[in-house]
């Protein structure tokens, strides 16, 4: 019988867990023995006792015993063994892939789940975590902004609603737009992709239209703009940024660095007390990696690249369903069936995908 190990995450600030206790019975019903590393879910408020009550075995080290490892961040390659399947958000760059390949490890990178295949949607961990991140970004902005988000009319006077600009209308951007709207702000959204503008409007937000060229890319993502197109886009955006109290940026291009949308000059034109939440960690020139700070002109700039980990219970619950959906897809009668002809597996499994059946005790 195959065994699955739930790893205790060790990354800085990482509080999520790959499988929550409520899904242990589902994994056992699929023919897996469930091993949970002691304390794996503690940071997300899932105690060892909840896993044990659900039928899991609590162990000190799952890596040496499990045939399948479920994780959030990528584990060190030197702690994995040949024949093991590791499933997670691996951000599998060429060097990591080469290391895993040399060690005979089978790696499934849930970052690569194809969004355009309907059968893959339950496995789409990137979407589930971006949804959490967008929500959290709006909440963080509201908490940091030292005025009200909604319009308030009181005996002490009237407080105008916050003006919020969200750049990028993918999953995270739309989540941020919807949340900021529910908090009462006046929200404007922008995306280089023409079809995204209808989605912005559907949430009741204003749509910022620029003269920049369309940026449709593959798989529903934006394409990378040329240097000239980026410069023109920044120049236009700069004239709008200063009119807003809160700026949330979420723009990503797969396989590339986040596009620079807002330069230093635009930040200097923002009003004192304004807030920037850079969810992409590179859309704003003033962003400092891993830092929150206040500029000389009184603008708070937040690098918010790790937001899902700050909401670990909700993020873990969603992510665990993604992991389970993927495992259910690759399990056949309690054994792991890898099939290079399966388009989902072909996209997600980055090492070791050859036709094979793994029944347990991989070494």
List, in sequence order, every beta strand (DSSP E) within 233-318: 246-249, 275-278, 292-294, 300-303
Residue 354: pLDDT band with limits 50, 70, 90: low
69 alpha carbon, distance to own chain's centre: 20
Check whether 268 has a pLDDT greater than 90.
yes
pLDDT score for 233: 86
Residue 167: pLDDT band with limits 50, 70, 90: very high
Q: In whole numbers, what is the pLDDT of the chain averaged over residues?
A: 91
Check whether 212 has a pLDDT greater than 70.
no
Q: Tell me what the mean pLDDT of segment 12-40 comes to.
A: 96
pLDDT score for 1: 82
Identify the three-state secondary structure at position 56: coil
pLDDT in tens, 31-58: 999 999 999 999 999 999 999 999 999 9
Task: For the chain, give the percent of residues with pLDDT over 70.
Answer: 93
pTM comes to 0.90
* CB 334, CB 32: distance < 8 Å: yes
List, in sequence order, every beta strand (DSSP E) within the chain: 3-6, 33-37, 57-59, 68-70, 85-88, 106-109, 152-154, 157-159, 163-167, 186-190, 206-207, 246-249, 275-278, 292-294, 300-303, 331-332, 335-338, 349-351, 356-358
Domains of the chain: residue spans and CATH:
3-112+333-358 (3.40.50.720), 132-310 (3.40.50.720)
Q: Tell me what the mean pLDDT of segment 255-272 comes to.
A: 92
pLDDT score for 254: 74
Residue 362: pLDDT band with limits 50, 70, 90: very low
Instruction: Give Cβ neighbours of residue 348 (< 8 Å, ≥ 6 apart).
Output: 108, 109, 110, 112, 113, 123, 326
Check whether 115 has a pLDDT greater than 50.
yes
**Chain position carrying tokens 């529910």:** 182
**127-141, 247-261, 303-317, 347-361: least confidently modelled range:** 347-361
DSSP line for 319-335: HHHHHHHHHHHHEETTE
Instruction: Please give the C-alpha separations between residue 1 and each of 4, 67, 333, 334, in angstroms, as whole numbers.
Output: 10, 9, 10, 7
Q: Tell me what the mean pLDDT of segment 136-145 comes to.
A: 98
């Amino acid at each position: 019988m195959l065994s699955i190990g739930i790893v205790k995450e060790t990354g800085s600030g990482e509080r999520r867990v790959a499988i929550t206790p409520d899904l242990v019975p589902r994994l056992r019903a699929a023919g897996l023995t469930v091993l949970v590393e002691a304390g794996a879910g503690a940071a997300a408020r899932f105690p060892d006792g909840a896993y044990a009550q659900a039928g899991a075995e609590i162990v000190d080290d799952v890596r040496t015993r499990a045939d399948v490892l479920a994780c959030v961040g990528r584990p060190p390659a030197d702690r994995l063994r040949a024949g093991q399947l590791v499933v997670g958000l691996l951000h599998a760059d060429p060097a990591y892939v080469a290391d895993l390949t040399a060690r005979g490890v089978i790696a499934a990178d849930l970052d690569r789940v194809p969004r355009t295949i309907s059968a893959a949607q339950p496995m789409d961990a990137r979407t589930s975590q971006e949804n959490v991140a967008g929500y959290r970004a709006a909440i963080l902005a509201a908490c940091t902004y030292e005025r009200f988000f909604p319009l308030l009319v009181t005996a002490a006077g009237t407080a105008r609603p916050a003006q919020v600009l969200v750049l990028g209308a993918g999953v995270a951007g739309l989540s941020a737009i919807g949340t900021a709207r529910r908090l009462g702000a006046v929200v404007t959204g922008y995306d280089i992709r023409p079809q995204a503008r209808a989605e912005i409007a559907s949430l009741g937000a204003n749509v910022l239209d620029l003269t920049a060229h369309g940026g449709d890319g593959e798989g529903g993502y934006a394409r990378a703009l040329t240097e000239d197109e980026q410069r023109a886009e920044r120049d236009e955006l700069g004239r709008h940024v200063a009119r807003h109290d809160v700026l949330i940026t979420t723009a990503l291009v797969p396989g590339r660095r986040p596009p620079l949308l807002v330069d230093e000059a635009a930040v200097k034109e923002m009003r004192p007390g304004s807030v920037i939440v850079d969810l992409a960690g590179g859309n704003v020139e003033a962003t400092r990696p891993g830092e929150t700070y206040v500029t000389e002109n009184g603008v708070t700039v937040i690098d918010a690249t790790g937001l899902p980990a700050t909401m670990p219970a909700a993020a873990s619950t969603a992510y665990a369903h993604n992991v389970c959906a993927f495992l259910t897809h690759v399990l056949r009668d309690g054994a792991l069936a890898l099939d290079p002809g399966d388009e989902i597996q072909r996209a997600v499994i980055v090492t070791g995908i050859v036709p094979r059946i793994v029944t347990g005790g991989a070494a």
